[in-house]
A and B are shown apart, each in its own frame.
Chain A
Amino acid sequence: MKKISTLIFIIILGFLFVNFTISTPASSRQDVKTEKAKYHVPEDVQQIIDKSCYDCHYSESENEKGKKKLQFDKLGELKLYKQVAKLADIADEINEGEMPPEEALEEYPEIKLTDEEKTKLVGWAEEMAKQLSSDSE
Chain B
Amino acid sequence: MNWKRITLYIILAIIILIQFIPAGRPELGTSHENDLLYNNEIPEDIAGMLRASCYDCHSYEVNYPWYSYVAPVSWLVARDIREGLKELNFSEWESQSKMDKAKNLDEIIDEITEGEMPMPIYTIIHRNAKLTDEQKEQLADWADSYAESLFE
Whether the pair B107, A81 counts as a contact (CB closer than 8 A) is: no
Whether the pair B98, A85 counts as a contact (CB closer than 8 A) is: no
Residues of A contacting B151 with CB < 8 Å? 79-81, 84, 133, 136
Question: For the complex, is A120 an interface residue (Cβ under 8 Å from B)?
Answer: no
Whether the pair B103, A133 counts as a contact (CB closer than 8 A) is: no
Q: Nearest Cβ in chain B — how far from A91, in angstroms?
A: 10
Q: Nearest Cβ in chain B — how far from A69, in angstroms?
A: 9
Q: Nearest Cβ in chain B — how far from A75, in angstroms?
A: 13
Q: How far is the CA of A134 from the CA of B150 in the complex (A)?
A: 11
Q: By the criterion of a CB under 8 Å from any partner CB, how many residues of chain B are at the interface?
A: 15
Residues of A contacting B144 with CB < 8 Å? 79
Whether the pair B107, A85 counts as a contact (CB closer than 8 A) is: yes
Residue from A80, A89, A134, A136 within 8 A of B103 (CB atoms): A89
Residues of B contacting A80 with CB < 8 Å? 148, 151
Question: For the complex, is A88 an interface residue (Cβ under 8 Å from B)?
Answer: yes
CB nearest to A86 among chain B residues? B106
Q: By the criterion of a CB under 8 Å from any partner CB, how many residues of chain A are at the interface?
A: 15
Whether the pair A88, B152 counts as a contact (CB closer than 8 A) is: no
Q: Nearest Cβ in chain A — how far from B145, in angstroms?
A: 10
Whether the pair B103, A85 counts as a contact (CB closer than 8 A) is: yes
Which residues from 34 to 82 on chain B have a C-beta closer than 8 Å to any C-beta of chain A?
none
Residues of A contacting B147 with CB < 8 Å? 79, 81-82, 85
Question: For the complex, is A40 an interface residue (Cβ under 8 Å from B)?
Answer: no
Question: For the complex, is A113 an interface residue (Cβ under 8 Å from B)?
Answer: no
A81/B106 contact (C-beta < 8 A), A136-B151, A136-B152 known:
yes
Q: How far is the CA of A80 from the CA of B102 in the complex (A)?
A: 9
Q: A82-B147, A85-B147 are in contact. List 6 more A-B contacts (CB 8 A).
A: A81-B105, A84-B98, A85-B102, A86-B106, A88-B99, A136-B152
Residues of chain A at the chain B interface (Cβ within 8 Å): 79-82, 84-86, 88-89, 129-130, 133-134, 136-137
Residues of chain B at the chain A interface (Cβ within 8 Å): 97-100, 102-103, 105-107, 144, 147-148, 150-152
* Contact sample, A vs B, 29 pairs, CB 8 Å cutoff: A79-B144, A79-B147, A79-B148, A80-B148, A80-B151, A81-B106, A81-B147, A81-B148, A81-B150, A81-B151, A82-B102, A82-B106, A84-B102, A84-B151, A85-B102, A85-B105, A85-B107, A86-B106, A88-B99, A88-B102, A89-B106, A129-B99, A133-B98, A133-B99, A133-B102, A133-B151, A134-B98, A136-B98, A136-B151
